[in-house]
């Protein structure tokens, strides 16, 4: 075991896969000599050369489109978008094209590509460097969407995403990059896509979350645990496909559910998770499902007080859990 940050785990995950499989390559802005703006590809160009670590022009749509074409022609590209806020030009190629390639060719074409992007706030990124984009992509059948929270998961999920034969949108919470440390095995491992993880077991209340919020939820659960309420924290890890089994098993045990995400609330992941619970575990519920999510403003504001007002933190989660416990 080695203690690593999330960004180190992401880097190692890509590096191991590039060593293992010649068809894996990475393309994006500033990923060469600069090693990526977050240093996710630090040292890559030295080890793998410019042919497999491609500094692209500033042109997001073609980063996705070229990766898609390379994937349909037998490669396993990792396309990096510098910040998720700049991902919208890729929607045409990812939602419109990559997601439909297998379906629209009766299974003849497959798209083993990963579109990686750092997302989320808490870094004073303002309106254009803080956005969460998972819900937009997660609505699309044909795509997989992954949102890791820990170094262990980030590495294991990224390796699975690279090996997967379908297009995967891999969204890394940039706030976790250097903030979150954790143990990562020295030996080879992967974490399967589509499997949620019980990050903290408990009996009274289920908290369902993912990404950066996992850490606030665990902290809040520990605080509330000292107040005599046992909280189970589930990290979805993969937003599409969702792991209904883990969600429903927990709800059937606790009967009370809080869903927490950084992304805004309306038509977000929490709405879908609520619906799954309402459809399949209604009889087990002892309280209305509660969603704690970002406010209905188009993006995260810049000033520290405004940013803090947008973001959910340990205190806000704790308060929501206490309310639910009292119901």
Partner 1 sequence: MKKTPPVVGAGVTRPSDDKLVQMYREMVLCRALDERVWMLNRQGKAAIVASAQGHEAAQIGSVQALQVGKDHFYIYYRDLAVLISLGLTPTEIMLGFTAKAGEPLAGARQFPTHGASKTLNLVNLSNVVGTQIPQAVGSALASKMRGEDAVTIVYFGDGASSVGDCHEAMNFAAIHKLPVIFLCENNGYAISVPLSKQMAVDGIVSRADGYGIPGVVVDGTDIMAVYEATSEAATRARDGRGPTIVETMVERYLPHTSDDDDSLYREQEDLEEARKRDPVRILQEQLIGAGLLPGDTDSVIRNEAKRVINEATDYVDAAPYPEATDFLDHVYS
Binding partner 1 by CB under 8 A: which of 66, 195, 198, 276?
A: 66
**Which two tokens mark 33?**
């000599």
DSSP string covering 235-274, please? E--EEES--HHHHHHHHHHH--EEEEEEEESTTSHHHHHH
Cα–Cα distance, 110 to 100 (Å, whole number) = 10
Q: How far is the CB of 58 from partner 1 (least distance, A)?
A: 9
Stretch 104-123 residues interacting with partner 1 (CB under 8 A): 104-110
**32 near partner 1, judged by CB under 8 A:** no
Select from 33-41, 59-67, 120-128, 230-238 the region that touches partner 1 (CB under 8 A).
59-67
Closest by CA position to 133, among listed 123, 143, 122, 147: 147
Q: Is 129 among the residues known to form the active site?
A: yes
Q: Which is nearer to partner 1, 102 or 116 (CB)?
A: 102
| Cβ-Cβ contacts under 8 Å for 258 (sequence gap 6 or more) | 205, 206, 207, 208, 290, 291, 292, 317, 320, 321, 324
Q: How far is the CB of 240 from partner 1 (least distance, A)?
A: 10
Select from 128-136, 137-145, 154-162, 256-264 the region that touches partner 1 (CB under 8 A).
137-145
Q: How far is the CB of 235 from partner 1 (least distance, A)?
A: 22
Binding partner 1 by CB under 8 A: which of 164, 172, 243, 307?
A: 164
- With b for 16 or more beta-carbon neighbours within 10 A and e for fewer, the 122-147 pattern comes to bbebbeebbbbbbbbbbebebbbbbb
Give the interface size with partner 1 as a residue count (CB under 8 A).
44
DSSP for residue 131: -
Q: How far is the CB of 181 from partner 1 (least distance, A)?
A: 34
DSSP for residue 209: E
Which neighbouring-strand residues pair with 145?
Answer: 169, 240
Q: Which is nearer to partner 1, 25 or 38 (CB)?
A: 25
Q: How far is the CB of 322 from partner 1 (least distance, A)?
A: 41
Query: Which amino acids are annotated catalytic?
Result: 129
User: Which residues here bind partner 1, judged by CB under 8 A?
Assistant: 25, 51-52, 54, 56-57, 59, 61-62, 64-75, 77, 89, 92-93, 96-97, 100-110, 141-142, 144, 164-166
């Amino acid at each position: 075991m080695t203690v690593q940050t999330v960004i180190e785990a992401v880097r190692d995950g890509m590096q191991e896969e590039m060593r293992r499989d010649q068809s894996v390559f990475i393309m994006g802005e500033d990923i060469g000599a600069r090693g990526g703006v977050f240093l996710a590809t630090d040292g890559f160009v030295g080890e793998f050369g410019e042919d497999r670590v491609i500094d692209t022009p500033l042109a997001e749509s073609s980063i996705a489109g070229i990766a898609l074409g390379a994937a349909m022609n037998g490669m396993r590209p990792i396309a990096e978008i510098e910040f998720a806020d700049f991902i919208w030009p890729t929607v045409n190629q990812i939602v419109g094209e990559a997601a439909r390639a297998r379906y629209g060719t009766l299974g003849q074409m497959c798209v083993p590509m990963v579109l990686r992007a750092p997302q989320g706030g808490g870094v004073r990124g303002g309106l254009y460097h803080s956005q969460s984009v998972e819900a937009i992509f997660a609505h699309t059948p044909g795509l997989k969407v992954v949102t890791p929270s820990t170094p262990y998961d980030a590495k294991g999920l990224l390796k699975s995403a690279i090996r997967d034969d379908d297009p995967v949108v891999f969204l890394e919470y940039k706030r976790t990059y250097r903030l979150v440390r954790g143990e990562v095995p020295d030996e080879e491992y992967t974490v399967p896509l589509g499997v949620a993880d019980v990050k903290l077991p408990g009996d009274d209340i289920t908290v369902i979350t993912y990404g950066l919020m996992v850490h606030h939820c665990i902290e809040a659960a520990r605080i509330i645990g000292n107040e005599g309420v046992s909280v189970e924290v589930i990290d979805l890890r993969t937003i599409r496909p969702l792991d209904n089994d883990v969600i429903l098993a927990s709800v059937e045990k606790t009967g009370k559910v809080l869903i927490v995400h950084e992304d805004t609330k309306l038509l977000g992941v929490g709405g879908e998770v609520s619906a799954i619970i309402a459809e399949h575990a209604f009889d087990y519920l002892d309280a209305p499902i509660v969603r704690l999510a970002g406010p209905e403003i188009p993006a995260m504001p810049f000033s520290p007080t405004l940013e803090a007002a947008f973001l959910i933190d340990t205190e806000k989660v704790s308060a929501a859990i206490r309310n639910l416990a009292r119901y």
